[in-house]
Structure 1
Amino acid sequence: NSWFDPGKEADAANALIDQGVDVVFQHTDSPAPIQAAERRGVYAVGYASDMAHFGPKAVLTSIVNDWGPHYIQATQSVLDHTWKSQDYWGGLKEGTVELPISDLVPAAVKTEAEQIIADIKSGAFHPFTGPIKDQAGTEKIPTGATASNAELASMNYYVEGMKADIPK
């Protein structure tokens, strides 16, 4: 229940590694999980900023949040008297999310990942295009349909293949 608790974050990462996890993903603001992965010799994916300097032998990529483009657009809309209250769904295309791919990733995989990122930016590929099924195999997003922002925001299921239960 915290966004910043390096001790607990490192403990959680170490517990996962002790259970055989070979890639640690984080959704916290400290580098503790990355540093644990680096010390323990497993890979990691950073969050919020590029975490590669905290684990140069561990970080495969980081989900880098850059609110600058959104703040500039929102400020300009205020100046233009066109601003309205609404949800913001910026991402790769808008430049508010970046995914720097490390050289730890094999060259062919890095090239493929960078092409997928380019396709998302151009609109040629949407990662939430069906068919998408839940764990029970029930189709949630039909073939060819793309999940709306409302569907993504209210998603209360794990997808097919996940081996976990949603906490209640």
Structure 2
Amino acid sequence: MSEYFATVARGLEELAAQELSQLGARDVAQGFCGVSFQGDRELLYRVNLWARLPFRVLVKLGEFPSTDDRELYDGVQQIDWGEYLTPELTLAVTVTGKNDQLNHSHFTAIQVKRAITKQQTEKFGSRSDVDIQDPNVRINAHIDKDRCIVSLDSSGNSLHRRGYRSAVGDA
């Protein structure tokens, strides 16, 4: 059983929780701009395919203390990235939230990327390139007070864009 978080527009948390429950999610709990839930991989696919309200579905990989950049770096290093990301795949890191020491999302994203690529270099002898526009793997780090939750984005592009302008003609 894995832990997931579906991001939604503010104010839609209750409706999203109902929708996820109807799709088979367990331990559904509303949060700020999202809904946490548990389920198996089949549920993850079902939510990405059929849920109408979430923008993204995040797969929780780890949670650890992160009062400063050193704790953040060490916490990210504790995750076995070889299971999710090999050097031939590109990556992008998005950051949400902040605390007193980690209050600049770009700096925090760089720290997460550095920790991941250092582990890759030690393990594989090479590292992933960063591709902000169209990465193979998108990683999300959420800072909340003195904790960090690191997740994989299972949705790729935002789910609200599914099928958007799939048939385009001349203007």
**Under a length normalisation based on structure 2, what TM-score does the superposition of the two structures give?**
0.28
* Greater C-alpha radius of gyration: 1
Q: Which structure has greater strand proportion?
A: 2
